[in-house]
């Protein structure tokens, strides 16, 4: 999703809509990825990330982390509101992004949690251990790679 969002922004899109109708729950990495996209978009003229059909559970999850201040959740006046079913019918899967190696995946998860941590002190405390563990994992992997390349 991050690669697709980055690709769309690079192509000039300033409004991204994430449809959560079929999403029964989100983990912190997914929400951090959404927050990162929303932050990038909000820094652009007219940029916005909107959430469609969040459902109560997902809305609460987003609000609990303060993400409702970064993105529009179920905006009633959204331009896509009356066309949602037609839009869903026209969607095609995005081009598959290249698979990430272990270090790149770990860096993505770390970035997502750092974005969440930057939103509030509450989030920073909640994700402190995760961020620390991920940083340690990356350091250990780099040390192992450096040692392997010297051998």
Q: How confident is the prediction for the chain on average, in pLDDT?
A: 91
Of the listed ranges 41-45, 55-59, 125-129, 140-144, the least confidently predicted one is 140-144
Give the three-class secondary structure for 52.
Answer: strand
pLDDT digits (tens, 9 = 90+) for 50-63: 999 999 999 999 99
C-alpha dihedral, 25 to 18 to 121 to 39, nearest 10°: 160
Q: Which residues contact 44 (CB under 8 A, 6 or more apart)?
A: 9, 14
Q: What is the pTM of this model?
A: 0.88
Residue among 9, 1, 63, 7 nearest 40 (CA): 9
**Is 2-90 a CATH 3.30.750.24 domain?**
yes
Neighbour-count burial of 129, counting CB atoms closer than 10 A to its CB (0-12 exposed, 13-18 middle, 19+ buried): exposed
User: What letter does residue 69 receive in the DSSP assignment?
Assistant: G
Is pLDDT at 101 greater than 70 in this prediction?
yes
Q: Tokens for 117?
A: 């941590």
């Amino acid at each position: 999703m991050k690669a697709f969002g980055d690709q769309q922004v690079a192509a000039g899109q300033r409004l991204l809509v994430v449809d959560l109708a079929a999403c029964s729950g989100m983990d912190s990495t997914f929400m951090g990825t959404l927050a990162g996209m929303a932050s990038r978009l909000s820094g652009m003229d007219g940029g916005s990330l909107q959430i469609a059909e969040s459902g109560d559970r997902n809305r609460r999850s987003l609000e609990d982390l303060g993400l409702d201040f970064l993105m529009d959740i179920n905006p009633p006046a959204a331009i896509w509101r009356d066309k949602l079913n037609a839009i869903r019918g026209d969607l095609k899967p995005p081009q598959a992004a290249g698979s990430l190696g272990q270090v790149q995946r770990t860096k993505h998860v770390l970035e997502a949690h750092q974005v969440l941590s930057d939103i509030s002190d509450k989030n920073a405390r909640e994700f402190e251990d995760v961020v620390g563990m991920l940083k340690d994992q990356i350091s250990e992997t780099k040390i192992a790679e450096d040692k392997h390349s010297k051998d």
